[in-house]
A and B are shown apart, each in its own frame.
Chain A
């Protein structure tokens, strides 16, 4: 019976209730929009960074973080990659050799970062291969062709088909050189990539470095759900160890990106806390007002024999209904908003520019929303609790009213 009465009470002052519902919807929508946009854009950042770099989880030789060098390898990577791919939650695993070398032409020489890979399995996976603007992709794992960045092409005066001498240290520490020709040129607009990175076929690199057929510097693992990275790195650790490797999540491999996401998340978090506080203040205001003006009514009810406890519960039930209706309305309203943001996103290039580079990675100015169930539940729960909490003080006041006093109020 209280439930029905509470429900009716809620609608007695339609205008006020509607205003309150609007506040709730506003707060909820805001929280959902921000959270899903952030989730979407962080997710995209991580994926981009993973594809451009070293996967969501990277298996690399033990000790490599502290002292990287061509002498450290992961063995039997072919077998390892197969085993990794067979595990749940894994989308793909690719094998790479990375290192430093000097790239020289008759004109000049410059330091370069080498990424040696299997062209066939990395098509569509490795970010840079999607940015080849001149020439062609690499055709085989052992040809003596490379893909360089547009910045390096400029510095070394290189064109398609021209030759380049790579000098580096091999597995035993000896200095080795190889002659390669430019098959393609990529351009990302990011200097760190364009001026520095050279993509080399993996088997050619193995020959140059004196690696055996299955040795490599890293296995880049791509996950189905990027949020599992931390957990998966622990799961993969024992497997990696069997092949002389360790498994590291992207947050360790790319601390810049992790840092950026962290900073942004913190900002977001505080922002949403503020909004919630504001909305909470508004709801408190409303409910309080609603109680205040009915003090006389409550006085009579108490005088007639209703227990304070019951009164308290009635107010809380009103608040409960408010929460339910509020969340219902909010959810309904947020569906089209989310759909739009998910499909079309917000194009931030208008005010943030087209070349946002963080930690050496280029990000898409289009922010799209993504829905994570656990975040949604958090918001739901948060709003619900907030509303109920806002009802506590007014309910307490109502229950505490002294009948004689209140009946005296006009």
Chain B
């Protein structure tokens, strides 16, 4: 394997780039989607509330791999054929949005009730109360769980290898089959994943300290 250092580094590098891109897109999509679902779950319109609750119930309980198989092999049967990368990323963002929604909800619950009551007593409406009073205080308890979700996103992108995306895990498998030095390529890939998760954990801790609110 050591005679192929360049080729191997190139393969793993490409895999890593794909993993990072997928993680970033999935996480961004999941946060945006999760916020929307969280707002739907607490809004006064009953059908939207029911939709939010149903969404979370379905997407929290379906295994991600089942969702990926459904999207990648099932949707083309409905004439909905999109590029593989887009399909996989969308499925993962939809999956993680349900978890982000639950984090947002528990973050909002962590804000003392009096804050919302005071805001309403001052005449703030639903949107104003959420934007100026609740969310700024709810963000801090959400940082650590969102960090865990980011790590979860990063690790779950490896499942894309099972449906044919050549990201980091897929490249590790490919290199193993190609160069017959399995333990080396797996060790390298493991190091990359550990570095990725440790960095995310550190960043989450730093952001949390930055966002500390004095009460």
Q: Real complex partners, A and B? A: no
